[in-house]
């Protein structure tokens, strides 16, 4: 069944994967091999997923009882590598 929670979890997973690929694969190739192709290919999808993650976090906040500290952790996790995986495990996996 497709639920709001499942959509948020999927976007969090895809955002996390795209961020890791961008940081640890595409960026080194750009600077070491002087080939910006992968950054161009991954940049736009990652940006859209990042914005989607933030929007969904604000929307999902209304359905949860996250306090200010927990919500801040959810938002900050989007800029830390592997952060969205932590959010999924700690806050989303056992929700509703």
Q: What torsion do the CA atoms of 30, 87, 1, 62 make, to the nearest 10 degrees?
A: -120
Q: Residue 96 pLDDT more than 90?
A: no
Q: How far apart are CA 65 and CA 36, in angstroms?
A: 43
pLDDT in tens, 49-79: 999 999 999 999 888 888 999 999 999 999 9
Q: Where are the alpha helices (DSSP H) in the chain?
A: 4-21, 27-32, 37-61, 68-76, 83-87
CA distances from 38 to 23, 28, 43, 78 (A): 11, 10, 8, 21
Prediction pTM value: 0.91
DSSP single-letter state for residue 80: S
- Percent of the chain at pLDDT > 70 equals 99
What integer is the mean pLDDT of 34-48? 96
């Amino acid at each position: 069944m497709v639920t709001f929670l499942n959509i948020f979890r999927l976007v969090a997973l895809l955002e996390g994967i795209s961020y890791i690929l961008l940081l640890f694969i595409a960026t080194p190739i750009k600077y070491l091999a002087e080939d910006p192709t992968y950054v161009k290919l991954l940049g736009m999808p990652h940006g859209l997923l990042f914005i989607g993650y933030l929007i969904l976090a604000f929307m999902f906040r209304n359905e949860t009882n996250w306090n200010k500290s927990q919500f801040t952790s959810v938002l900050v996790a989007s800029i830390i590598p592997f952060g969205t995986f932590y959010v999924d495990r700690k806050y989303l996996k056992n929700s509703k």
